[in-house]
Amino acid sequence: MSIHNPVEKCSACGERRSEIELLRLVKNKDQILIDPQEDLPGREVYLCPSKLCIKYARENNLLTDKLKTEIDDDIYKNIMEEIGND
């Protein structure tokens, strides 16, 4: 019996990786949440947990476009803290 391991694409670099290797962000009730358990409902976006991908997403407004809402600096700060890159 094989374990199902879904593959998603990083919205910043386009690399396809296992879901468990990517950072999942969810727009849920007008909040942007980091969803490490991958169980929250809502519009989702995946990013590589790397400083470069987060920086690229921020500079190019990728999260704003994908999640269809404005993303403030606190969200990016929380993401960087989550991945351990201040």
Structural domain harbouring 37: 7-81
Half-sphere exposure (Cβ direction) of 82: Cα atoms closer than 13 Å: 19
In a domain, 50, yes or no: yes
In a domain, 2, yes or no: no
In a domain, 1, yes or no: no
Amino acid 86: pLDDT: 46
Amino acid 84: pLDDT: 87
In a domain, 29, yes or no: yes
Q: How far apart are the C-alpha atoms of 4 and 73, rounded to whole Å?
A: 35
The domain total for the chain is 1
In a domain, 65, yes or no: yes
In a domain, 69, yes or no: yes
Amino acid 5: pLDDT: 78
CATH of the domain at 31: 3.30.1230.10
Amino acid 85: pLDDT: 55
Cβ atoms of residues 71 and 35 within 8 Å: no
Please name the helix (run of DSSP H) or strand (run of DSSP E) that holds residue 33, with its range, or none.
Answer: strand 31-34
How many H helices and E strands in the chain? 3, 5
Mean pLDDT, 10 residues at a time, over the chain (86 residues)?
Answer: 80 95 94 91 96 96 94 92 77
In a domain, 86, yes or no: no
Amino acid 33: pLDDT: 93
